[in-house]
């Protein structure tokens, strides 16, 4: 069993549909640590020491958030800025996250076809996520393809939320084909590379 750490971050859970559904699906799931970042730090007073200990105590880190202006909500960035210190995540002696897995679970407002040279968002979704990918690389972590829901505002979130539950369970039980997950562009609820009993 892999030790799995899940962060959900949505500044306005009241108006969220997909992210709330995902969170409530995996709430209480055995063997994973799940945190609502905005509930944990409503006043942004992130405890660096606590957070670093939490990271060290797990093998897989999943960050779940809605895409806001092509990036993560502010508190996720704040968390990254403060917790992933030099000497911890990178820089001199900064190899404490080495070998761990980082995975994003993002929802977008725009439809899938909008993300690409032809679409009105003009860039691939992965292009917007390169800061996270590079952060993982600098921290010597493995970066898996993001688990994505496009058009989250007008899609029923149930299938995606169930897929998220399957994904998290598989990560926990080490049944996700990591090689396939690394080489994929994005993962969706119907393209999860699971191994063994499905």
Partner 1 sequence: MSDFLLLAFLFLIAGVAAVPIATALGLGSVLGYLIAGIALSPILLLLEVDVVSIQHFAEFGVVMMLFLVGLELEPKRLWEMRNRLLGLGGLQVGLTAALIAGVLIAFQMDWRIAVAVGLILAMSSTAIVLQTLAEKGLLRGDGGQASFSVLLFQDIAVIPILALVPLLAIPGAHHAGAEDGHGAGMSLVADLAGWQAALVTAGAIAVVIAGGMFLTRPLFRYIAKARLREIFVATALMFVVGIALLMTLVGLSPALGTFLAGVVLANSEYRHELESDIDPFRGLLLGLFFMTVGAAIDFQMLWDDLFPILGLTLAVIGAKALVLLVLARVFALRGSEKFLFGLGLAQAGEFGFVLTSFAVSNLVLPEDMAPRLNLIITLSMMLTPGLFILYERVIRPAFDRPVEREDDEITEKGTAIIAGHGRFGGIVNRMLLAAGYKTTVLDHSAAQLDMLRVFGFNVYYGDASRPDLLHAAGIEEAKLLVVAIDDPAQAVAIVHHVTQNHPHVHIIARARDRHHVYQLYNAGCRDVIRETFDSSVRAGRSAYEALGMHPFEAERLARSFVKADRHALYELAQVWDPEIPETQNPAYVQKVREMNEVMEPGAALGAFRERHERGWTPPSPQDTESDRQRIEAARDGA
62 Cβ neighbours under 8 A, 6+ residues apart = 4, 5, 6, 7, 103, 104, 105, 168, 171
Binding mask of the shown chain, residues 125 to 154, with x at each position contacting partner 1 by CB under 8 A: ----------------------------xx
Q: Give me the least distance between CB of 25 and partner 1, in Å please.
A: 18
Q: Give me the least distance between CB of 101 and partner 1, in Å please.
A: 27
Residue 39 interacts with partner 1 (CB under 8 A): yes or no: yes
What are 155's two structure tokens? 């899609």
Q: Kindly tell me which residue out of 53, 120, 131, 158 binds partner 1, with binding defined by CB under 8 A.
A: 120
Whether residue 72 contacts residue 9, with contact meaning beta carbons closer than 8 Å, is answered with: yes
DSSP assignment of 124-165 equals -HHHHTHHHHHHHHHTT-EEPPPEEESSTTTS-SHHHHHHHH
Residue 11 interacts with partner 1 (CB under 8 A): yes or no: yes
Residue 195 interacts with partner 1 (CB under 8 A): yes or no: no
Taking residue 110's Cβ as centre, other Cβ atoms within 10 Å add up to 16
Q: Give me the least distance between CB of 39 and partner 1, in Å please.
A: 5
Residues that bind partner 1 (CB under 8 A): 11-16, 36, 38-39, 42-43, 68, 73, 109-111, 114, 120, 153-154
């Amino acid at each position: 069993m892999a030790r799995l750490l899940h962060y959900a971050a949505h500044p306005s859970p009241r108006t969220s549909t997909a992210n709330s559904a995902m969170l409530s699906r995996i709430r209480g799931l055995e063997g994973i640590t799940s945190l609502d970042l905005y509930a944990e730090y409503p006043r942004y007073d992130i405890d660096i020491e606590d957070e670093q200990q939490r990271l060290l105590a797990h093998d897989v880190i999943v960050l779940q958030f809605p895409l806001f202006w092509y990036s993560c909500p502010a508190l996720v960035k704040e968390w990254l800025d403060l917790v992933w210190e030099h000497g911890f995540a990178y820089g001199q002696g900064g190899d404490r996250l080495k070998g761990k897995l980082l995975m994003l679970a993002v929802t977008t407002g725009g439809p899938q076809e909008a993300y690409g040279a032809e679409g009105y968002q003009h860039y691939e979704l992965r292009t917007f996520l390169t800061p996270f990918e590079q952060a993982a690389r600098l921290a010597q972590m493995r970066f898996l393809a993001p688990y994505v829901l496009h058009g989250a505002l007008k899609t029923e979130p149930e299938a995606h939320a169930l897929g998220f539950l399957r994904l998290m369970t598989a990560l926990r039980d080490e049944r996700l084909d990591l090689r396939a997950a690394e080489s994929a562009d994005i993962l969706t609820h119907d393209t999860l590379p699971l191994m063994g009993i499905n």
